[in-house]
């Protein structure tokens, strides 16, 4: 059994209200609602709503909940609060010790991160990467101390996985965070423009025993309360996810998940306390899941790796 996770930041389960919820304006896979109804899933698909709060006061945040996903541990409970943005020292410690990617590679299974980054950015963070002919960007010295690594890159690095560069994206060996390259191109990065269907084919070409893809534009649109941007982000991710599922190898389980709610309620700029829907596609039955941390634990279980 292999496992692929398509992670999309900031997409929760909210009411079916097209005035505030862009998920109610089109039949995306993640158009799942608080009344239990939602878009019918392709054959082999199942929905599992999970908690994002861990019983910790305040609104769920990306750093702590992504740490929970990529360690299988209840990070907000363990450190006693929600942490926004990028992992702080306690969260980095959890990831270094409990990364599910580390567990996978220590068990002799392969792992890869489909996302590609500018080589100069990875070097500035001191993260292990694949070879690149150029840097693509240069981080000015005055900004170096502000740079922080995401939970996903730290989890991969803890497992000894070399991160992909934009050279990989240009050679069909990696994907830009926006799937189609349009957002990266607007930032003057030299990357190919490709359809979500082509991106899905590349995803499966580079897939390992454990494969991760991370998408965060829906969360950005939610913070901006930008409905057109939300619809673009959700539409592109949905087309990509559907193509990934359509061409899923028989030996691979595909999980689609998020870390917390946001874009499902554009009446506010902040994250919500709504649950998120974990969508599973494949022949395997998932173990019981209550929180987003159980996504990571489920991935290990499916891979036959001890937590």
pLDDT in tens, 229-273: 999 999 999 999 999 999 999 999 999 999 999 999 999 999 999
**Angle 216-279-78 (CA atoms, 0-180°, nearest 5)?**
65
Please provide the average confidence, as pLDDT, over all residues in the chain.
97
Kindly indicate the confidence band of residue 223, based on its pLDDT and cuts at 50, 70 and 90.
very high
Whether residue 208 is predicted with pLDDT greater than 90 in this model: the reply is yes
pLDDT tens for residues 94-135?
999 999 999 999 999 999 999 999 999 999 999 999 999 999
Say what angle helices 151-158 and 62-71 make with each other, to 10 degrees. 30
Residue with the bigger pLDDT between 189 and 12: it is: 12
Who contacts 51 (Cβ-Cβ below 8 Å, separation ≥6)? 275, 290, 291, 292
Task: Output the pTM of the full model.
Answer: 0.97
SS3 content of the chain, % helix, strand, coil (to 5): 40, 15, 45
Q: What is the pLDDT of residue 230?
A: 98
Phi, psi values for residue 81, rounded to 5° = -165, 170
Who contacts 61 (Cβ-Cβ below 8 Å, separation ≥6)? 82, 83, 84, 85, 260, 271
pLDDT tens for residues 57-83?
999 999 999 999 999 999 999 999 999
For residue 189, give the 3-state DSSP assignment.
coil
Q: DSSP strand E in the chain: where? A: 2-8, 45-50, 111-113, 116-117, 164-165, 210-215, 252-257, 276-281
Query: So what's the architecture of 2-106+191-303 in CATH?
Result: 3-Layer(aba) Sandwich (3.40)
């Amino acid at each position: 059994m292999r496992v692929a996770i398509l992670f999309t930041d900031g997409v929760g389960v909210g009411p079916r209200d097209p005035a505030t919820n862009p998920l109610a304006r089109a039949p995306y896979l993640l158009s799942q609602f608080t009344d239990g109804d939602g878009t019918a899933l392709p054959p082999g698909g199942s929905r599992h709503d999970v908690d994002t709060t861990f019983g910790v006061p305040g609104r769920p945040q990306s750093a702590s909940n992504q740490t929970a996903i990529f360690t299988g541990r209840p990070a907000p409970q363990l450190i006693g609060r929600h942490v926004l943005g990028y992992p702080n020292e306690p969260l980095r410690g959890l990831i270094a010790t409990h990364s599910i990617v580390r567990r996978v590679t220590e068990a002799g299974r392969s792992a890869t991160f489909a996302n590609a980054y500018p080589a100069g950015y990875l070097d500035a963070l001191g993260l292990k990467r694949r070879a690149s002919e150029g840097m693509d960007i240069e981080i000015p010295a005055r900004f170096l101390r502000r740079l922080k690594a995401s939970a996903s890159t730290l989890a991969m690095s803890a497992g000894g996985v070399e991160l992909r560069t934009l050279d990989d994206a240009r050679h069909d060996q990696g994907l830009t965070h926006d799937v189609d390259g349009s957002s990266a191109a607007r930032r003057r990065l030299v990357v190919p423009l490709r359809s979500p269907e082509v991106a899905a084919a590349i995803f499966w070409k580079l897939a390992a025993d454990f494969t991760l893809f991370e998408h965060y534009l829906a969360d950005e649109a939610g913070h901006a309360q930008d409905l057109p941007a939300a619809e673009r982000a959700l539409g592109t991710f949905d087309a990509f996810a559907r193509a990934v599922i359509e061409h899923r190898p028989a030996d691979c389980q595909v999980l689609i998940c998020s870390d917390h709610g946001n874009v499902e309620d554009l009446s506010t700029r902040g994250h919500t306390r709504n649950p998120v829907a974990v969508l599973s596609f494949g022949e395997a039955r998932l173990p019981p899941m209550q929180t987003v941390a159980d996504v990571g634990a489920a991935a290990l279980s499916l891979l036959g790796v001890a937590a």
